[in-house]
Structure 1
Amino acid sequence: MHDTPDLADRHDAVCVIGAGGSGLAALKNLREQGFSVDCYERETSVGGAWNWRHDRSPVAAGTHLVTSRPLTEFPDFPMPDDWPDYPHHSRFLAYLERYADHFGLRDSIWFGTEVVAVTPVGDGRWDVTTRGTGGGDERIQRYAAVVVATGHLWSPKPWDVDVSGYRGQVLHASACKDPAQLRGRKVLVVGGGNTGCDLAVAAAPQADTVWHSTRRGYWYAPAYVFGRPADQIAALLQRWRLPLRVRQWIYARTVRLTTGDGSRFGLPAPDHRPYESHPVVNSQLVLHVGQGRISPMPDVVRCSGTTVEFADGRRVDPDLVVLATGYLPRFDFLAPELLDADADGKPDLHLHAFARRHPTLAVVGLVQADGGLLPVAHWQSVAVARWLRLRRESPDRAAAVQQQESTRPLRSWVRQRMVPSSRHWFEVSFVSYLRALEGLLERLERA
Structure 2
Amino acid sequence: MQEYSSQAAYDRGEAVCVIGAGASGLIAVKNLRENGFEVDCYERDTVLGGLWNPQNQHSPLYANTHLVTSRSQTEIPDFPMPDDWPDYPSAAQMLAYLTSYAKHFGLSEHIWYGSEISQIQPVEGSRFEVVVKPAAGSAARRLRYGAVIIATGHHWNPNLPTYPGLDRFRGTVVHSSQLKDASKLRGKQVLVIGGGNSGADIACEAAVNASACVHSVRGGTWHLPKYLGGEPADYALARLTARPKFLRRFLTDRLLKGPDRLAARMGVAPAESGSDKEPVRNGRYLEHVGDGSIERRGEVARFDDYDVAFADGSELRPDLVVLATGYQPKITCCPPKLLGGSDDSPEPKLLARMFSPRLETLAVAGLVEPGVGVLPIVHWQTHAIAHWLQVRKGDPERAANFRRQVVNESVEPEEEPGSAPRRRLAVDPEEYLASLGRIIDTLEQEPAK
Q: Which residue of 1 aligns with 2:444?
A: 445
**How many angstroms does 1:40 deviate by?**
0.1
Structure 2: how far apart are the matches of 1:9 and 1:275? 51
Match of residue 428 from structure 1: 427
Q: Note the C-alpha offset of 1:111.
A: 0.4
Cα pair distance change 1:287/1:259, threshold 3 Å: farther
* Alpha-carbon distance in structure 2 between the residues aligned to 1:417 and 1:231: 26
Q: By how many angstroms is 1:165 displaced?
A: 1.1
C-alpha separation between the residues in 2 aligned to 1:444 and 1:114? 33
Alignment of 1:408-427 (within 5 A): 408=409, 410=411, 420-427=419-426
Residue 117 of structure 2 aligns to a residue in which SS? strand
| AA matched with 2:398 | R
Q: SS state of the match for residue 443, structure 1?
A: helix
Give the corresponding residue for 2:395: 394
Aligned partner of 2:347 in structure 1 is 346
**Counterpart-to-counterpart distance in 1, 2:33 and 2:87:** 31
Is the contact between residue 45 and residue 113 of structure 2 (CA under 8 Å) also seen in structure 1?
yes
Task: Give 1:188's match in structure 2, choosing from 164, 187, 191.
Answer: 191
Q: Secondary structure at the match of 1:349?
A: coil
Q: 1:361 corresponds to which residue?
A: 362
Query: Is the counterpart of residue 28 in structure 1 residue 30 in structure 2?
Result: yes
**C-alpha distance 326-249 of structure 1, shift in aligned 2 (>3 A):** farther
Q: Is the 8 A contact 2:206 2:213 kept in 1?
A: yes
1:93 to 92, 95, 103: 95
Shift of 1:95: 0.2
- Range 338-347 or range 202-211, more displaced: 338-347
State the distance in 2 between where 1:325 and 1:194 align.
Answer: 10
Please tell me whether the aligned partners of residues 298 and 311 of structure 2 are also in contact (alpha carbons under 8 angstroms).
yes
Distance 1:293 1:174, change over 3 A: same
Identical amino acids, percent of aligned pairs:
44
Map of 2:142 onto structure 1:
140
For residues 56-135 of structure 1, the aligned pairs below 5 Å read: 56-134=58-136
Alpha-carbon separation, structure 1, partners of 2:415 and 2:337: 26
Partner of 1:336: 336
Superposed displacement of residue 249, structure 1: 5.4
1:382 shift after superposition:
0.5
SS of residue paired to 2:129: strand
> Aligned equivalents of 2:290 and 2:188: distance in 1?
21
- Which position in structure 1 is the counterpart of 2:45? 43
User: 1:11 matched to which residue of 2?
Assistant: 13
Letter in structure 2 aligned against 1:187: V
Q: Which amino acid aligns with 1:305?
A: D
Does the C-alpha gap of structure 1 residues 188 and 63 become closer, same or farther in structure 2, counting only changes over 3 Å? same
| TM, length-normalised to structure 2 | 0.94
CA contact (8 A) 1:231 1:370 kept: no
Residue equivalent to 2:172 = 169
Aligned-pair CA distance for 1:427: 1.1
Q: 1:366 to 1:239 in 2, by over 3 A?
A: farther
Conservation of the 8 A alpha-carbon contact between 2:9 and 2:143:
yes
Is the 1:248–1:273 Cα contact (8 Å) retained in structure 2? no
Residue 150 (str. 1) matches residue 152 (str. 2): yes
Residues 221/288 of structure 1: CA separation in 2 closer, same or farther (3 Å cut)? same
AA matched with 2:443:
L
Q: Secondary structure at the match of 1:164?
A: helix
The code of the aligned residue for 2:145 comes to Y
Q: Partner letter of residue 312 of structure 2? A: D
User: Conserved in 1, the CA contact under 8 Å of 2:330 and 2:347?
Assistant: no
CA distance in 1, matches of 2:377, 2:249: 23
Q: CA, structure 1 residues 15+159, in 2 after alignment: closer, same or farther (shift >3 Å)?
A: same
Structure 1 match to 2:303 = 303
SS in structure 2 of the partner of residue 437 of structure 1: helix
Contact 1:219–1:255 (8 Å) recurs in 2: no
For the residue of structure 1 that corresponds to 2:240, the secondary structure is helix
- Given that residues 65 and 91 in structure 2 are in contact (C-alpha distance below 8 angstroms), is that contact kept between their aligned partners in structure 1? yes
Cα separation, partners in 2 of 1:117 and 1:276, compared to 1, 3 Å = farther
Amino acid at match of 2:233: A
Q: Kindly state the Cα deviation for residue 253 of structure 1 after the two structures are TM-superposed.
A: 4.5
- The one-letter code sitting in structure 2 at the alignment partner of 1:318 is P
Moved over 6 A (4+): 414-419
Q: Give me the whole-angstrom Cα distance separating, in 2, the residues matched to 1:273 and 1:40.
A: 44
Render the CA deviation track for 1:302-335: whole Å, top value 9, x for unaligned: 1121100001010000010000001011111111
Q: 1:192 to 1:428 in 2, by over 3 A?
A: same
**Residue 286 of structure 1 aligns to a residue in which SS?**
helix
Aligned length: 442
Q: Give ranges in structure 2 of 5+ residues lacking alignment.
A: none
Change (3 A) 1:270 1:252: farther
Aligned pairs for 1:205-354 (under 5 A) are: 205-243=208-246, 247=248, 250-258=251-259, 260-267=261-268, 269-341=269-341, 343-354=344-355
Structure 2: distance between partners of 1:248 and 1:97: 39
Indicate how the Cα distance of structure 1 residues 197 and 252 shifts in structure 2: closer, same or farther if over 3 A, else same: farther
Alignment of 1:383 onto 2:369:
no
Question: 1:52, CA displacement in angstroms?
Answer: 2.0
Task: Measure how far apart 1:418 and its partner are.
Answer: 11
* One-letter amino acid of the structure 2 residue matched with residue 380 of structure 1: Q
More displaced stretch, 421-430 vs 21-30: 421-430
Deviation at 1:22, TM superposition (A): 0.6
Contact 1:222 1:255 in 2 (8 A): no
The answer to whether the Cα contact below 8 Å between 2:193 and 2:324 also exists between their aligned partners in 1 is yes
Q: Distance in 2 between matches of 1:333 and 1:22?
A: 17
2:181 maps to 1:178: yes
The alpha carbon displacement at 1:194 in A equals 0.3
Whole-angstrom CA distance in 1 between matches of 2:341 and 2:272: 28
Secondary structure at the counterpart of residue 439 of structure 1: helix
Counterpart residue type for residue 281 of structure 1: R
Residues 74 and 374, structure 1, Cα contact 8 Å, conserved in 2: yes
Which deviates the most, 151-160 or 134-143? 134-143
Q: How far apart in 1 are the matches of 2:250 and 2:174?
A: 38
Shift in alpha-carbon separation, 1:134–1:239, aligned structure 2, 3 A: farther
Contact in 2 for aligned 1:379/1:437 (Cα 8 Å) = yes
Relative distance call for 1:275 and 1:349 in structure 2 (3 A) is farther
Matched-pair contact (CA < 8 Å) for 1:266–1:296? no
**Which piece of structure 1 moves more, 387-396 or 197-206?**
387-396
